[in-house]
Amino acid sequence: MLSPVIDTEGAPFWEYAGRGELRVQACAECGEVRFPPRPCCPHCRSFACEWRRTDGRGRIWSYVRPHPPLLPDYAAQAPYHVVLVELDEAPRIRLVGNLVSGPGAPLDSVPEERVRIGARVQFVFDPGSGLPQWVLERS
């Protein structure tokens, strides 16, 4: 499996995620959130930033089901769901991730019929892969 190639701006996201916190970069001057992280605020051009905690809730904005040819580790689990999650607290931030039945579950662990645009999801962290994942919210 591929691990993220983390850059300077993105490092805090991964550090917080490792503690089970979903945080997004926000401008310390004007308060606008931005993603992917970057050195300065495109709204007010301030270089001061903070990492704002979110409740990790969102909705599926779109999703795909990749089929082979894929890299071997992914092909072994294909087809699986890659979802794009729009955060409740920051609608323009749509995080790519995997929809799974629980933290650490295989990429193909949610049946196709349960995946739909608009479905409510919750952030979880998988210590095994070191990646954020998403589970369907119980309702």
Partner 1 sequence: MAGGAEKAGGARGSGGVRGPGGAGGSSTVGIKDATAIVGIGQTGFAKRLPEDEKTLACRAVLAALDDAGIDPGEVDALASFTMEETEEVELAKAVGFGDLTFFSKIGYGGGGSCATVAHLATAIAAGQATVGVAWRSRKRGSGPRPWTNTAVQLPTPAQWTRPFGLLRPVDEIAMLARRYMHEYGATRDHLFNVALACRNRANQNPDAIMYERPLTREMYMTSRWISEPLCLFDNCLETDGALACVVVSAERARDCRRRPVYVHSAAQGLPAQHHGMVNYWNDDPLTGPAWTAARHLWKHADLTPQDVDVAQIYDAFSPLIPLSLEGYGFCGRGEGGAFTEGGALEIGGRLPINTGGGGLSEAYVHGFNLITEGVKQLRGTSTAQVPGASTCLVTAGEGVPTSALLLRS
Cβ atoms of 100 and 112 closer than 8 Å? no
Cα distance between residue 29 and residue 61, in whole Å: 29
Residue 72's binding partner, choosing from partner 1, Zn ion, none, with beta-carbon cut-off 5 to 8 A by kind?
Answer: none
Taking CB under 8 A as the rule, does residue 93 contact partner 1? yes
Cβ atoms of 56 and 22 closer than 8 Å? yes
Residue 10 buriedness (CB in 10 A; 0-12 / 13-18 / 19+): middle
At closest approach, how far in Å is the CB of 76 from Zn ion?
44
Cβ atoms of 137 and 121 closer than 8 Å? yes
Q: By CB under 5 A, how many residues form the interface with Zn ion?
A: 7
Residue 25's binding partner, choosing from partner 1, Zn ion, none, with beta-carbon cut-off 5 to 8 A by kind?
Answer: none
Residues 40-69 within binding reach of Zn ion (CB under 5 A) = 41, 43-44, 46
At closest approach, how far in Å is the CB of 25 from partner 1?
11
User: Residues interacting with Zn ion, by CB under 5 A?
Assistant: 27, 29-30, 41, 43-44, 46
